[in-house]
Structure 1
Amino acid sequence: MSWAGKILRVNLSAGTVAAEPLNMDWAHSYLGSRGLGSKYLVSEVDPKVDPLSPENKIIWATGPLTGTMASTGGRYTVITKSPLTGAIACSNSGGYWGAELKMAGWDMVIFEGKSPTPVYLYINDDTAELRDAAHLWGKSVWETEPLIKQSLQDPLIRVSCIGKAGENGVLYAAVINDLHRAAGRSGVGAVMGSKNLKAIAVRGTKGVGNLRDPKAFMKVTYEKKKILRDNAVTGQGLPTFGTQVLMNVINEVGALPTRNHQDVQFEGAKDISAEAMATPRATDGKAQLITNQACFGCTIACGRISKMDAGHFTVSNKPQYWGASGGLEYEAAWALGAANGVKDLEALQYATMLCNEEGIDPISFGATLGAVMELYEMGVLSKEQLGIEAPFGSAAALAFLAEETVHSRGFGKEIGQGSKRLTAKYGHPDLSMSSKGQEFPAYDGRAIQGIGLAYATSNRGGCHLRGYTVASEVLGIPVKTDPLEHEGKPELVKAFQDATAVFDSAGICVFTSFAWGLADVAPQLQAACGEQYTTEELEKIGERIWNMEREFNNAAGFTKADDSLPKRLLTEAAKTGPAKGKVNMLAEMLPKYYAARGWDSEGVPTAATRERLGL
């Protein structure tokens, strides 16, 4: 089996660190990472707990394929109760940290309580101890990681940490590892900060050597890597252009939310696209994009490494931002760009670096800023309140308010509370483009009907990665469905949601699902784990995980009313593009979705469904 078979439990209040055996019955039923970590959370945490109280717990979890030679086997998740939404939070990250934890011999680390002073956890294979982090508190991610490596005199240590945003309680603060990979959504970094936990530094030298059948595993992973290589998306599009390959595609189909979802097409899309990133600048003749980068074990390599124009107004006097850094991905480019009507590519790169440096989710930040700019144009917010003129399209406002937010200064403190709280405070709650309090990503639910339903029903609030029906509705993967048609989408959304839960829980990247189905994951798990994971069994595991998350949210106080979309998507028709005249048909889709899920009319899993899934 490829589980390490043990977890680390850290009581921050008591300052204790203890090993315990992994619950293997749960591992067989929930795989690992998202599923298994969530099982521990829902079993140990009161759903009604205050997310920022010591009674909440926060868990770092790997999957059975994490740290192995399975393609993209470097993923880990951070699971807790979200301070942004009040729902279950499970945020996934790549890079190298997850594989390092697994190679140190641990499946999971559970943090309880709250440390009286700032600390970090140091893991060196079987040895783990809490260390003083007073000298790290107040430092950025970019300062924290090198300082830890220097103090431990080991450049190969991997670090997962927070910046000032997590310390200051920005409700969508992220956990960052390897300097620019993020467990980015739902405010997991704020929970980390609330516990006075600055970082987890890991050094693992054991490897993952307990595979059931190493030769069979090598053979099947080789075969599956070939499928990724030969696929148009995972073998060509993502390696060449990264996720930014979508900017012009989504704009052309009229599904690019623009100016806080007032429009569905952005006239500046080409200026902030993958193609623009690779085009030499007029100012210095150099392209922003330098190269692509892969996470641990990844054969896709969709990551971007970019370098700004040193003469740009945002960095002309800030040489610390002149070097190569993590580059724009599609969701960040959209949130910082089209969502605010900003088409200055260099300003977007500056803002994304700030998000990485201090640890915040660029999707929630950018989408919240879109609401701020709309409130400014309505006259509800003023220059005096914001500290700058902030109309749609202002790169100066984007840069200034990004700085204020990551440092929790001025009006940035309010932006750091997210769009739901901010728009309600200023009397216009309908302007929050969110579900369950989490802001939507870069697809309009009027032009892509299925993704609108996926947003409304997502267990962690507005999210594309919990059921990426865009694959089918726009890209034709695995089958082409009409994005403007709402019939059949409840079943499509359910299928995508359940399958994604399996990919997440196995410890591999969801991007492999552009080329793989569950039938490709099953033999890899069988060779690694020794379990008879058939495709049908994996479908059931994905459904079990989804229903478990749903039951936690229901117990936390969520109801059918929370499976909703903003009024704008339901009543204001798209103005241009193929979806012109369309609204999202949520009212027609939701009852059919509940029926497909085996839930009652209020969105509660029935006794028969619970029994069938073993909940």
Structure 2
Amino acid sequence: MSWAGKLLRVNLTTGTVKSEPLNMEWARQYIGSRGLGTKYYTSEIDPKIDPLAPENKLIWATGPLTGTMASTGGRYTVITKGPLTGAIACSNSGGYWGAELKFAGWDMIIFEGKSPKPVWLYIQDDKVELRDAAELWGKSVWDTEAIIKKELQDPQVRISSIGRTGENGVLFAAIMNDLHRAAGRSGVGAVMGSKNLKAIAVRGTLGVGNVRDPKAFMKETMERKKILAENPVTGEGLPTHGTQVLMNVINEVGALPTRNHRDVQFEQADAISAEAMRRPRATDGKAQLVTNQACFGCTIACGRISKQDPNHFTVKDKPRYQHATGGLEYEAAWALGAANGVGDLEALQYVNQLCNEEGMDPISLGATLGAAFELYEMGVLTKEQLGIEAPFGSAKALVQLVEDTIAGQGFGKEIGQGSKRLTAKYGHPELSMSAKGQEFPAYDGRALQGIGLAYATSNRGGCHLRGYTVASEVMGIPVKTDPTATEGKPELVKAFQDATAAFDSAGLCVFTTFAWSLPDLAPQLQAACDEAYTVEELSLIGERIWNMEREFNNAAGFTKADDTLPPRLKTEAAKVGGSKGQVSQVDAMMPKYYEVRGWDSEGRPTAETKARLGL
């Protein structure tokens, strides 16, 4: 089997660590990573717990294909209750850390309690110890990595850590690994900080446990890599342009949320696009993009490595930010750019570096800033409160407010609480472009009816990675559907959500689903694991995971009233593009969605559904 077969339980209150055998019955029912980690979490936690209380738990989990030769097999997830939302939080990351944990012989780490002082965890195969993190506390992710690697005298050690935002309780703080890969959403970094846990450093030399049928596994994975290579998205679009390939595409469709969703097209979209990252600058003749980069075992290589203009106002006197490092992804470029009306590519890359360095979700950050910019333009917020003039389009205001958020000073403290709390405090809760308290990503729910329904029903709040119907509505994958139509969208959303849960739980990247479907995942899992996973069973497992998450949220206090979108998307029609005149029909689609899910009219899984899924 390709599970390691054991987990590590760390009690931070007592400072003890112990090994436990993995519950293989649960592994069969939930696969691994997102599914299995969430099963452990929901079995051990009161759903009404305060996310930042010591009683909350925090789980790092890999999948059975993590660390194997399956393409993109480097993923891991962090599971907890999110402080931004109060809902189940499960944030997925790539890079190399997840594979390293498997190489050290562990499937999962469960953290309990709260350390009386800052600590970090060191894992070298079976050797596990908590170490004093006094020297690391207050340091950035980048400095933390450098200090730990120097102390261990091991440049190959892999580190998962938080920056100052996680320590300071920014509610959308991320957990970072490999300098610029992130378990980014829902505030998992704030939970880590609340436990006085600074980092986990892992060095594994054991490799992955025996796959069930090595020859069959090699055959299946090689065939699937060929499919990825020949697909226009995974073989050409993503390697060439990264996720930023979408900026101009989504803008042309009229689905690019702009200036806090007031508009659906951004007139400067091309200036912050993948194409712009490749164009020589007028200042020095060099392009921002240096090269692409892959995570562990990935044959797609969508990551960007970029280098800023050293003379730009953001970095002119800051050599620390003048080197090549993680470059803009589509979501970050949109959230920091179009959502705020900012078309300065160099300013966006600088802020992107800050998000990586200090561990912050650029989606929630950018969307919260967008709400603040709108409140400023309305006269609700003033220059005196913000510390700077902040009209839409101001790169200087964007940069200063982000720096203040990291430092926990001035109005940055307000930004760090997210848009739901910010807009409510200043009397305009309708200006938070979020669902269940988590800010939307880079697709407008009026232009793409399916993604609007996916946002409203996502178990972790506004999210595209739990059911990426953009693939169908814009790109025609696996079939083309009319983006403005509502007929069939509840069924489409459910199918995407269930399939994504299975891919996440296997330990693979969701980007493979541009080329693969469950019939591609099943034979890889069958060859690797002791289970004869069929397509039908994987679909059922995905549905089981989705309903498990839903049950946790319902018990935490969420109701059908939370399955909705802000008034703006339901009442203010899109002004241009293919969605001109459209509003979201999310409320009209919801009863059908509940029906296809097997839920009652209040959005609760019925007894029959729970029995069918073994919940």
Alignment TM class, shorter chain as reference? over 0.9
Match in the other structure for 2:11: 11
**Offset of residue 209 of structure 1:** 3.4
Q: Aligned runs of 1:394-409 on 2, under 5 Å?
A: 394-409=394-409
Match in the other structure for 1:315: 315
Which residue identity lines up with residue 390 of structure 2 in the other structure?
Answer: A
Match in the other structure for 1:379: 379
CA offsets per residue over residues 78-136 of structure 1, 9 Å max, x none? Answer: 00000000000000000000000001000000000000000000000011110000000
Which residue identity lines up with residue 544 of structure 2 in the other structure?
Answer: R
Question: Structure 2 CA distance, aligned partners of 1:599 and 1:547?
Answer: 9
**Offset of residue 169 of structure 1:** 0.1
Check whether the contact 1:160–1:199 (CA below 8 A) recurs between aligned residues: yes
**Offset of residue 186 of structure 1:** 0.2
Question: Structure 2 CA distance, aligned partners of 1:278 and 1:317?
Answer: 24
TM-score norm. by structure 2 comes to 1.00
Question: Structure 2 CA distance, aligned partners of 1:203 and 1:586?
Answer: 47
**Offset of residue 511 of structure 1:** 0.1
* 1:81 corresponds to 2:81: yes
Question: Structure 2 CA distance, aligned partners of 1:132 and 1:200?
Answer: 12
Question: Structure 2 CA distance, aligned partners of 1:586 and 1:321?
Answer: 43
Q: Aligned runs of 1:559-578 on 2, under 5 Å?
A: 559-578=559-578
Check whether the contact 1:447–1:484 (CA below 8 A) recurs between aligned residues: yes
**Offset of residue 289 of structure 1:** 0.2
Unaligned runs of 5+ in 1: none
Question: Structure 2 CA distance, aligned partners of 1:180 and 1:614?
Answer: 39
Match in the other structure for 1:167: 167
Which residue identity lines up with residue 272 of structure 1 in the other structure?
Answer: I
* 1:434 corresponds to 2:434: yes
Unaligned runs of 5+ in 2: none
Question: Structure 1 CA distance, aligned partners of 2:410 and 2:120?
Answer: 29
Match in the other structure for 1:211: 211
Question: Structure 1 CA distance, aligned partners of 2:403 and 2:504?
Answer: 32
Match in the other structure for 2:464: 464
Match in the other structure for 1:155: 155
Which residue identity lines up with residue 484 of structure 1 in the other structure?
Answer: T
**Offset of residue 406 of structure 1:** 1.7
* C-alpha RMSD of the superposition: 0.4
CA offsets per residue over residues 350-406 of structure 1, 9 Å max, x none? Answer: 000000010000000000000000000000001111111000000001111111112
Q: Aligned runs of 1:484-563 on 2, under 5 Å?
A: 484-563=484-563
Question: Structure 1 CA distance, aligned partners of 2:436 and 2:567?
Answer: 14
Which residue identity lines up with residue 514 of structure 2 in the other structure?
Answer: F
Question: Structure 2 CA distance, aligned partners of 1:587 and 1:511?
Answer: 29
Report the count of equivalent residues: 615
* 1:483 corresponds to 2:483: yes
Which residue identity lines up with residue 447 of structure 1 in the other structure?
Answer: A
Match in the other structure for 1:241: 241
* 1:26 corresponds to 2:30: no
**The residue matched to 1:346 in structure 2 has which SS?**
helix
Check whether the contact 1:359–1:406 (CA below 8 A) recurs between aligned residues: no
Q: Aligned runs of 1:275-286 on 2, under 5 Å?
A: 275-286=275-286
**Offset of residue 556 of structure 1:** 0.1
Question: Structure 2 CA distance, aligned partners of 1:21 and 1:83?
Answer: 30
More moved, 203-212 vs 592-601 = 203-212
Question: Structure 1 CA distance, aligned partners of 2:77 and 2:409?
Answer: 30
Question: Structure 1 CA distance, aligned partners of 2:383 and 2:213?
Answer: 64
Question: Structure 2 CA distance, aligned partners of 1:296 and 1:512?
Answer: 14
Match in the other structure for 1:338: 338
Which residue identity lines up with residue 247 of structure 1 in the other structure?
Answer: M
* 1:56 corresponds to 2:56: yes
Check whether the contact 2:4–2:209 (CA below 8 A) recurs between aligned residues: no
**The residue matched to 2:122 in structure 1 has which SS?**
strand
Match in the other structure for 1:135: 135
Question: Structure 2 CA distance, aligned partners of 1:410 and 1:150?
Answer: 35
Match in the other structure for 1:296: 296
Question: Structure 1 CA distance, aligned partners of 2:408 and 2:55?
Answer: 25
* 1:190 corresponds to 2:190: yes
Question: Structure 1 CA distance, aligned partners of 2:163 and 2:407?
Answer: 9
Check whether the contact 1:179–1:356 (CA below 8 A) recurs between aligned residues: yes
Match in the other structure for 2:423: 423
**Offset of residue 210 of structure 1:** 1.2
**The residue matched to 2:577 in structure 1 has which SS?**
coil
**Offset of residue 515 of structure 1:** 0.1
**The residue matched to 1:122 in structure 2 has which SS?**
strand
TM-score norm. by structure 1 comes to 1.00
Which residue identity lines up with residue 257 of structure 1 in the other structure?
Answer: P
Question: Structure 1 CA distance, aligned partners of 2:124 and 2:28?
Answer: 27
**Offset of residue 530 of structure 1:** 2.1
Question: Structure 1 CA distance, aligned partners of 2:70 and 2:157?
Answer: 22
Check whether the contact 2:564–2:587 (CA below 8 A) recurs between aligned residues: no
Question: Structure 2 CA distance, aligned partners of 1:497 and 1:209?
Answer: 30
Which residue identity lines up with residue 377 of structure 1 in the other structure?
Answer: E
CA offsets per residue over residues 8-43 of structure 1, 9 Å max, x none? Answer: 000000000000000000000000000000000000
Question: Structure 2 CA distance, aligned partners of 1:188 and 1:557?
Answer: 20
Question: Structure 2 CA distance, aligned partners of 1:227 and 1:408?
Answer: 47
CA offsets per residue over residues 578-605 of structure 1, 9 Å max, x none? Answer: 1111000012100000000000000000
Question: Structure 2 CA distance, aligned partners of 1:114 and 1:607?
Answer: 37
**The residue matched to 1:578 in structure 2 has which SS?**
helix
CA offsets per residue over residues 234-261 of structure 1, 9 Å max, x none? Answer: 0000000000000000000000000000
Question: Structure 2 CA distance, aligned partners of 1:170 and 1:486?
Answer: 37
Match in the other structure for 2:444: 444
Check whether the contact 1:328–1:352 (CA below 8 A) recurs between aligned residues: yes
Question: Structure 2 CA distance, aligned partners of 1:492 and 1:569?
Answer: 20
Residue identity over aligned pairs, in percent, reads 80
Match in the other structure for 1:350: 350
Which residue identity lines up with residue 259 of structure 2 in the other structure?
Answer: R
